[in-house]
A = this chain, B = another copy of it.
Amino acid sequence: MAISEAEAIIMEVLWRASPRSAEDILAEVGPQQGWQEGTVKSLLNRLLKKKAVKAERDGRRYLYAPRLPREQYVSQESKGLLDRLFGGRVAPLVAHFSEQRKLSKKDIAELRKLLQELDDEQP
């Protein structure tokens, strides 16, 4: 089953550092999202049920950690968007951002370097 948007926010916290307690997660995400304890606990439980995180007992409480790697999640999401909106091809996506003037100088420089590297590795 898919990871929802609110759940993904919890995942991001865990991907940044884990394992962590629920209290710890709440401290990081609660104020920012306006969530309270019960909300975070529920989300953690749903993520457990979805096997996206695992929990390891630590005395009275649990420490949570991702089971789903971020890379995999990013891949799924990105591929989904690419397929739905750009016929599965990357160039049109970049062209879209280019037209929207969403390419920073830094982006352009990095893209150039990336293409350069692709050249080098395939002689």
Where the two chains meet, the residues of A that have a C-beta atom closer than 8 Å to any C-beta of B are 8, 74-75, 77-79, 81-82, 84-85, 89-91, 93-98, 100, 102-104, 106-108, 110-112, 114-115, 118
Do A85 and B91 touch (CB < 8 A)? no
Bound-state CA distance A47–B97 (Å) is 26
Do B91 and A107 touch (CB < 8 A)? yes
Do A85 and B74 touch (CB < 8 A)? yes
Bound-state CA distance A24–B76 (Å) is 32
Q: Which residues of B contact A100 (CB under 8 A)?
A: 75
Bound-state CA distance A121–B81 (Å) is 29
Q: Which residues of B contact A81 (CB under 8 A)?
A: 77-78, 81
Do A94 and B94 touch (CB < 8 A)? yes
Which listed residue, B77, B89, B97, B104, touches A107 by the CB 8 Å rule?
A: B89
Do B77 and A91 touch (CB < 8 A)? no
Bound-state CA distance A77–B86 (Å) is 11
**Min CB–CB distance A53 → chain B (angstroms):** 18
**Min CB–CB distance A117 → chain B (angstroms):** 9
Do B85 and A90 touch (CB < 8 A)? no
Which listed residue, B8, B74, B111, B118, touches A90 by the CB 8 Å rule?
A: B111
